[in-house]
Amino acid sequence: MNAATATRGSLWLLLLAWAVLTATALLTRPLLPVDETRYVGVAWEMWARGDFLVPYQNGAPYSHKPPLLFWLIQAGWWLFGVNELWPRLLAPMIGLASLGLTALLARRLWPERPLASTLAPWLLFGCLFWAGFSTLVQFDLLVVCCTLLGMLGMLRAARGLGTGWLIVGLAVGLGILAKGPVVLLPLLSVGLLGRFWVDPGRLKGWHCWFGGLLSALVLGALIGLAWALPAAEAGGAAYRQALFWGQVTGRMVDSFAHQAPFWWYLPWLPLLLLPWSLWPPLWVALRRLWRERAADRDAQRGVRLLLAWAVPVLLVLSLVSGKQVKYLLPLFPALALLGGYALARAPVLRFPRRQWLAVLLLAVPVLLFVALGLYDLDAGPHWAVALQPARGEAFLLAAVLWWLWRPSDLATTVRSLAVAGVVLIGGLHLAVLRVAAPAYDLHAISERIAALQAEQRPIAHVGKYHSQFHFLGRLREPLQVIAPGEVLEWAAAHPQGYLVVYFDSWPGPREGAEYLQDYRGDSDDLALWSAAKLLAVH
């Protein structure tokens, strides 16, 4: 089997693993409140209003995120009709596109090492955090996709091709529309550090390089402003202030959410990069690459590009006040490419024939399910009592199979370990998330709220509302948001109305509620109350 055939076979297997993981997530869990339901709810409000310029949440302009993800959701609805499947399938498709761009980038960086383009997407997909996150309706994979597109443009520009800067500008513009200026971190870092990795012999001069970078930034800014300026004018003064100033300064200087110290990402990185952070052959290959870093000057330029991508961005993200682990996702392709190249340089690297790390991964849930028999499940989430310890037997069987399977080469070992991670995440969806799903499924109450709105009943939401009912109920009107201390006053003023109540913030009686459900498995039970009945019990 030649290299091209082996690469195609590996990519087809990767597509199959992606399809299995995606289908498992779609079939076992609903849209999760509050993030997924909020983002799809914002897209629905734009669609229902016929306003594709300003995002809206519960009837008010929504300044927290730009509109690209919402536009992509609405594009699918325009093609296929309004449905829940498309928004949920969109995120895995963006993740799949990122895997393809990672393989393409590896091929452009090291054309003489085809194994690198085979291994890099597997290393990326095999990260447990990446694989699990790729099934969620979020914005970060769009940023990853735009970053990879921009890096491909950088490589073209590094070969003296001016069209590369057009690609970089397009990537910057799309990234701004995806999640704001955060896309500039990796692209600007690699561009400004061009002297560190670009072969000057292929350029007409560094003035052309930095001039091209500036022109790409201007093009990207123009793409972003083509939406932002008319949106700011249409959204009003408060929206304009939040769009151009509040979000960026709030997160960078004194975070209004997710505040964490400088070192916060460092202990998280090894966990996010599992299982590869525990795989000795990868560390051996990286150490060998470091020792032989001067052996192939052209190939090492690719390594330098990846370092210019990952190291400064990690430093800047550590300095930013607001932190979440998903903010690190644009670094994952750089690390996967670095690992893929290191392993491709050492295809005869010794590796354990017994897949002890895959067995360890699959044995962890076995231990968890064994512990279920010893733990008082009544003290945990409400849905935990429905977990069946016997389901750990499936993970045990998988662990035995991986122990018996002895891959014949390094590439097969990488694929095997990545697939073990997919089995782990898919198995947890089937064994745990499927059981927990009713506590996160808001279809029933959303449809009930929609029916009440159709009857022209006033409806109040007690506490902050994240639009978790808007798309699922296809609501056409906003909910009135009131504080917990205003419940009885509002009920008295609207005796024909209804209230959405969470018992963690308003601990009242449960008897007599119009609708009651376990919400997210904790004390945060959710109820829909008739205002008249609520007044009667008080």
Residue 461 located in a structural domain: yes
pLDDT band at 477 (very low <50, low <70, confident <90, very high): very high
Which residue would you say has higher pLDDT here, 311 or 513? Answer: 311
190 and 87 together in one domain:
yes
The burial class, CB within 10 Å (0-12 / 13-18 / 19+), for 295 is exposed
In which element (H, E) is residue 500 found? Answer: strand 498-502
Domain that holds residue 494: 443-537
My answer on whether 205 and 112 are in the same domain is: yes
Mean model confidence pLDDT for the chain: 89
Number of domains making up the chain: 3
From 318, 344, 370, the end of a domain falls on 344
Does pLDDT of 152 surpass 90? Answer: yes
Q: Note whether 237 and 366 are same-domain residues.
A: no
- Does residue 354 surpass a pLDDT of 90? no
Mean pLDDT along residues 369-377? 64
What is d(CA 276, CA 123) in angstroms, rounded to the nearest whole number?
8
Q: What is the dihedral of CA 458, 464, 466, 469, to 10 degrees?
A: -30
The answer to whether position 15 is within a domain reads no
Q: Which of 344, 366, 395 is the last residue of a domain?
A: 344
| Main-chain dihedrals φ then ψ at residue 239, nearest 5 degrees | -65, -40
pLDDT at 62 over 80: yes
Give DSSP secondary structure letters for 168-210.
Answer: HHHHHHHHHHHHGGGGHHHHHHHHHTHHHHS-GGGSS-HHHHH
* 455 and 492 share one domain: yes
Over residues 14-43, the pLDDT tens digits come to 999 999 999 999 999 999 998 999 999 999
Same domain, 298 and 383: no
**E strand or H helix that includes residue 251:** helix 247-252
Q: Identify whether 149 is part of a domain.
A: yes
What local confidence, expressed as pLDDT, does residue 393 receive? 78
Report the Cα 108 to chain-centroid distance in Å. Answer: 26
Average pLDDT, stretch 180-185?
94
Choosing from 376, 411, 439, the residue where a domain stops is 439
What does the pLDDT read at residue 78? 96
230, 279: one domain: yes
Same domain, 373 and 261: no
Q: Record the pTM.
A: 0.93
In a domain, 449, yes or no: yes
* Cβ–Cβ under 8 Å, residues 90 and 25: no
DSSP states of 457-491: --EEEES---STTTTTTT--SPPEEE-GGGHHHHH
Nearest CA to 388 out of 432, 352, 419, 357 is that of 432
Is there a contact between 414 and 123 (Cβ–Cβ < 8 Å)? yes
SS3 of residue 136 by DSSP: coil
pLDDT of residue 254: 47
Q: What integer pLDDT is reported at residue 249 of this predicted model?
A: 53
Q: What percent of the chain has pLDDT over 90?
A: 64
pLDDT value at 391 more than 70: no
Segment 64-78, tens digit of pLDDT: 999 999 999 999 999
Dihedrals phi, psi of 527, to nearest 5 degrees: -140, 150
Q: Are residues 466 and 415 in the same domain?
A: no
The b-or-e profile of 317-343 (16+ CB within 10 A means b, else e) is beebbbbeebbbbbbbbbbbbbbbbbb
- Residue 321 confidence (pLDDT): 81
Lowest mean pLDDT among 15-19, 181-185, 394-398, 446-450: 394-398
Q: Are residues 458 and 420 in the same domain?
A: no
- Give the separation between CA 45 and CA 308, rounded to whole angstroms: 40
Task: Tell me: pLDDT of 388 over 70.
Answer: no
Cβ contacts of residue 422 below 8 Å, gap of 6+? 17, 20, 21, 125, 126, 131
